[in-house]
Amino acid sequence: MLRKIGWVARREFAATVMTRGFVIGVLVLPAIIALMAFVMPRMMDERAPRVVGTLAVVDDGNAVLPGLERELAPRELARRRVETGDRLRERISESLPEAAAAAAGATEAALAGALAAALGEVPDLRLQRIGEPELEAWKARLAAGTGGRPDDFGTAVAIIAVHPNAVVAADGAYGAYDFYVPPKLDDRLQDELRGALNRVLVEARVAAAGLDPGQVAALTSVTGYSTRVVTPDGERPSHEALNLLIPAAFMGLLLMSVMSTGQQLMTSTIEDKSSRVVEVLLAAASPVELMTGKILAQMGVGLLMLGIYAAMGIATLASFAVLDLVDPALVAWLVLFYILSYTMMAGLMGAIGAAVSDVSEAGALLGPVMMINMLPWLLWLPVSRHPDGALAVAMSFLPPVNLYAMLLRMSSASPPPLWQVLASTALAAGGAVGALWFASKVFRIALLLNGKPPSLRTLVRWARMA
Amino acid sequence: MDPAIRLRAVTKTFGDTAAVTDLDLEVPRGSLCGFIGPNGAGKTTTIRMIMAIYFPDRGELEVLGRSRALDAKDRIGYLPEERGLYRKMKVASFLRFMGHLKNVPAAELDRRIAHWLERVELGAFANHRCEELSKGMQQKVQFVAAVLNEPELLILDEPFSGLDPVSTRLLRDLFLEQHARGATILFSTHQMSHAEQLCDRVVMIHRGRKVLDDTLAAIRAQEEPRQLVCEPLADEPDLAPLEGLACAAAVTREGAAVRVTLRAGADPAEALSAVAAALPSRRVELRRATLEDVFVGIVTGEAPAC
């Protein structure tokens, strides 16, 4: 029996791997990642349309308008953008290794350029003080839209209505302001306007309280800090972005391998059936031998893909000297989790492949399976952010997605206790055995049946009667 | 000696449809058994159960002394009705794969592949992809896959369908050769003439039930001839004397010959003399019942018209 399984697996593996399609398929993912890293910063070179117009300000006490005019002067806006760029660059270089940032096209010059482009051109705003009675008329102008000539200062960009107690507290409470914007105003400009107004308000309040604004600013701002990770081998910079990306990379790798090989198994089973070679094979091997051989072959294909991608990932991390971010034990767990997750998926996909006569018929049966496979992507952020949360723990024990959740938790900053890992693995192993049982029953009945494609309920009925 | 195949009260249903019902069957070792019946009679389902591709709902099954064909698959050759190959595989690679699956000794495998490809006149196509072969050529490759393991039992399901007369003759000679080697052959067909020419034993099923199971000689012996065929000397013979015979139920022209269907109870020997006397002929003979006559008779519930 094992010999026949081996021969079926060998042929299937060779038929999958020794094709141009497989080689191209394996190279496509790293090529896309490299392309995105290279192209994305350049794609961000789309400049936001330059905004020209009037910002109406209701400021009865004239407490904020002068400061706002200063803050929103084109030269001041440009200076702030450069400062923002510097801060962002500083954070990125803290989170990502320098080499990685450079590799992503984020060299200093490129980053500065990209950031400037991302933030858009400096707006040219004329500030106009208006009275409370004029507010409704200006709102009507806003509602009419911002579309006018590019140099049209008659266009209303936004309205700021400063509360009377925004600078000097009334009854012990400070007011703020109302910010009116047209339906489509660049969100980056809105942030700049709000930021400028907030700073001006704080400054005005500090001055009104008789304090030195410069001193208060110095006291309330902290800059120049750094985060260092202390390891047994010494200190190193913190790579926060990588800490978030690595669990996602592990889960993505697992999901991609499982999905692509599961799909391949289904397609190959359908091909065997539609080309009618299946009965010739059944003359020499049992349905279970055939199914097991095919499943093992695609498992081998998946392990080969995992090996290739893992080697590429390790080589990349090693070249950036951040290999210590990956726990070698996690790689071993990844392989084990792949085998179990794939087997669960293979049971379903193999059964679907055996039940239908061509790929187009598989759609209805594939729908629920695809929905299950979307779950891990939905889980990524909630589980990564709260690896000990109720959702993360619950999903860790719900086959067939439990191992994706478990892998995310294991690669997070707060890994689960070993008993949970073992229990989840045991559950997945049980799920894998169940899926194989289901597939073998469906294989026995459906492999030579043609005609109307069965429903999921029919598949379950076949499994029970076989 | 145990029969090569033994089925006892085997039943198989698909949903509400009974494909095979209480089928008893014994195929003696060394026999060449025709498995006949109309389309949809249950032949392929029975063969698939024998091959352990389907499993019966009820009944017992024994193949080459084993209770499961799975345990004897390496000793069986099977040419299914639904044929297919791995289209992208080369002919020799496909046969090598099938040989491995059937546990053909590795040292023997290439020699046997080369030998059989020559026998089916495909020696030059060993390194061609299967998809490059014509349908008939593909069928020959499948036959080679079926006999590569020198099987004790060879099951052929409609082996001649889609073949031209030359290929049909070649394949027929090859499987008769396998029979001469000592292999038991179960040969399914809905073409009675093929079974009549080749088989020494016939099993007939209809609507999933066995309706006939005997040697061809015994079947023929049971069927009393009911027709006379004569070849008149005259080009335009007068058939009135024949039509006036008491033993004649009907008289019909068949080209240059005349067929006389006898009344029930008429003695064939007396009828032979009466027909010869009534119509001067080059030849007068009693026509033996063909398998087709027997089959039609069984299926329609009428006696064979011979």
Which of these three, B196, B220, B244, is where a domain ends? B220
The pTM of the whole model exceeds 0.95: no
The per-residue b/e assignment along A168-178, b for 16 or more CB within 10 angstroms, e otherwise, is eeeeeeeeebe
Shortest Cα–Cα distance, A285 to chain B (Å): 7
pLDDT of A74 > 50? The answer is: yes
Candidate from A280, A285, A444 with C-beta closest to B80: A280
Nearest CA in chain A to B52: A286
Residue B91 contacts residue B127 (beta carbons within 8 Å): yes
Same domain as B160, residue B275? no
Confidence of residue B197 (pLDDT cuts 50, 70, 90): confident
Tell me, yes or no, whether B125 lies in a domain.
yes
- Tell me the chain B residues in contact with residue A357 when contact means C-beta distances shorter than 8 Å: none
Higher pLDDT, A314 or B301: A314
Contact at CB, A284 and B82, closer than 8 angstroms: no
* A182-204 CB burial, b ≥16 within 10 A, e <16: beebbeebeebbeebbebbbbbb
Of B52, B82, B102, the CB nearest to A286: B52
**Are residues B28 and B112 both part of a single domain?**
yes
B13 and B108 part of one domain: yes
- Which of A275, A284, A444 lies nearest to residue B101, judging by beta carbons? A284
Give the closest of A8, A280, A285 to B83, CB-based.
A280
The span from the CA of A121 to the CA of A7, in Å, is 65
Q: Which of the given ranges, A215-219, B108-112, B248-252, has the highest pLDDT on average?
A: B108-112
Give domain A50-72+123-225's CATH architecture.
Answer: 3-Layer(aba) Sandwich (3.40)
Among B70, B87, B145, the residue with its CB nearest the CB of A275 is B87
Q: Residues B213, B90: one domain?
A: yes
Residue B53 lies in a domain: yes
Average pLDDT, stretch A263-278?
86
**Could you give the 3-state DSSP secondary structure of residue B170?**
helix
Q: Does the beta carbon of B58 lie under 8 angstroms from any beta carbon of chain A?
A: no
Summarize pLDDT for B51-99 with one digit per residue, the tens: 888 888 899 999 998 887 778 888 999 998 877 889 889 999 999 999 9
Give the model's pLDDT for residue A148: 45
Partner B, chain A 435-464, Cβ-Cβ below 8 Å: 444, 448
Please judge whether B97 and A277 are an interchain contact, meaning their C-beta atoms are less than 8 angstroms apart: no
In a shared domain, residues B128 and B258: no
**Cβ(B97)–Cβ(A7) below 8 Å:** yes
Check A280 against B70: CB less than 8 A apart. Answer: no
Give me the residue spans of the domains in chain A. 2-36+237-465, 50-72+123-225
B159 touching chain A per CB within 8 A: no
Q: Can you give the pLDDT at residue B17?
A: 85
Instruction: Confirm or reject contact between B142 and chain A (CB < 8 A).
Output: yes
Domain CATH for B229: 3.30.70
CB spacing of A275 vs B88 below 8 angstroms: no
**Residue B123 falls inside a structural domain:** yes
Contact A189, A123 (CB under 8 A): yes
Q: Which residues of chain A have a CB within 8 Å of the CB of B84? A: 275-280
> Of A39-53, A62-76, A383-397, A403-417, where does mean pLDDT reach its minimum?
A39-53
Helix, strand, coil shares of chain B, percent, nearest 5, are 40, 30, 35
Q: Is B145 on the interface with A (CB under 8 A)?
A: yes
* pLDDT band of A25, cuts 50, 70, 90: confident
Min Cα–Cα distance to chain B from A348, Å: 21
**What's the pLDDT band for A42 if we cut at 50, 70, 90?**
low
Beta-bridge mates of residue B209: B206
Question: Does B31 reside within a domain?
Answer: yes
Of A8, A275, A280, which has the smallest distance from its Cβ to B145's Cβ? A280
- The Cα of A338 is separated from the nearest Cα of chain B by a number of Å equal to 29
Q: Which domain holds residue B78?
A: 5-220
Cβ contacts of A281 on chain B, cutoff 8 Å: 101
**Nearest residue in chain A measured CA to CA from B57:** A466
Is residue B169 less than 8 Å (CB to CB) from chain A? no
Whether residues B53 and B200 fall in one domain: yes
Cα distances (angstroms) measured from residue B174 to each of A48, A323, A457, B116, B183: 80, 66, 47, 10, 12
Instruction: pLDDT band for A118, please (50, 70, 90 cuts).
Output: very low
Establish whether this prediction's ipTM goes over 0.85: no
A285 inside 8 A of chain B by CB? yes
d(CA B131, CA A222) in angstroms, rounded, equals 74
B48 and B83 together in one domain: yes
With an 8 Å Cβ cutoff, is B140 touching chain A?
A: no
Residue B111 lies in a domain: yes
| Domain-located, residue B264 | yes
Domain CATH for B194: 3.40.50.300
Put simply, whether A14 touches B (Cβ < 8 Å) is: no
**Which among B186, B220, B254 is the end of a domain?**
B220
More confident residue, B201 or B288: B201
- Name the β-bridge partners of B284: B230
- Answer whether B181 touches A (CB < 8 Å): no
B273 part of a folded domain: yes
Q: Do B53 and A281 touch (CB under 8 A)?
A: no
Find which of A277, A281, A286, A448 to mutate to test the B interface (most B CBs within 10 Å of its CB): A277
**Strand, helix or coil at A411?**
coil
Indicate whether B129 belongs to any domain: yes
Is A276 part of the contact surface with chain B (CB cutoff 8 Å)? yes
Query: Are both B51 and B130 inside the same structural domain?
Result: yes
CA distance A215 to B2: 108
From the list A282, A436, A426, A274, the residue with the least C-alpha distance to A349 is A436
CA proximity to B254, closest of B239, B240, B274: B239
Distance CA A353, CA A401 (A): 21
The amino acid at B291: L
Supply φ then ψ for residue B28, to 5 degrees: -65, 150
Please say if the pLDDT value at position B195 is more than 60.
Answer: yes
Give B77's contacts in chain A (Cβ within 8 Å).
283
Which pLDDT score, from 0 to 100, does residue B96 have?
Answer: 94
Q: What is the pLDDT of residues B261-305, one digit of tens each?
A: 888 788 888 888 888 888 888 888 888 777 777 777 777 765 544
Residues A167/A129, Cβ–Cβ less than 8 Å: no
- Are B55 and A15 in contact (CB < 8 Å)? no
Domain finish residue from B199, B220, B241 = B220
Query: Are residues B235 and B169 part of one domain?
Result: no
Please answer yes or no on whether B101 and A4 come within 8 Å at the CB atom.
yes
The pLDDT value given to residue A244: 67
Q: Note every long-range contact of B37-40, with CB atoms under 8 Å and residues 24 or more positions apart, other chains counting.
A: B37/B190, B37/B204, B37/B205, B37/B206, B38/B190, B38/B206, B38/B299, B39/B190
Residue to substitute from B49, B53, B83, interface A, most A β-carbons within 10 A? B53
pLDDT in tens, A147-194: 444 556 678 889 999 998 888 888 888 999 999 998 878 887 888 899
Number of structural domains found in chain B:
2
Query: What does A113-151 look like in DSSP terms, one character per residue?
Result: HHHHHHH-SPPEEEEEEE-GGGHHHHHHHHHT-S-S-TT
Structure tokens that stand for B272 in this block = 């032979």
B46 and B192 housed in the same domain: yes
Kindly indicate the confidence band of residue B306, based on its pLDDT and cuts at 50, 70 and 90: very low
What pLDDT, on a 0 to 100 scale, did the predictor assign at position A96? 54
For residue A15, the chain B residues in CB contact (below 8 A) are 86, 88-89
Tokens representing residue B43 in the block: 């032949």
Top-confidence residue, A66 or A26:
A66
A15:B76 CB<8 A: no
Gap between the Cα atoms of A95 and A89, Å rounded: 10
**Best to test chain B binding among A11, A271, A280 (most B CBs inside 10 Å):** A280
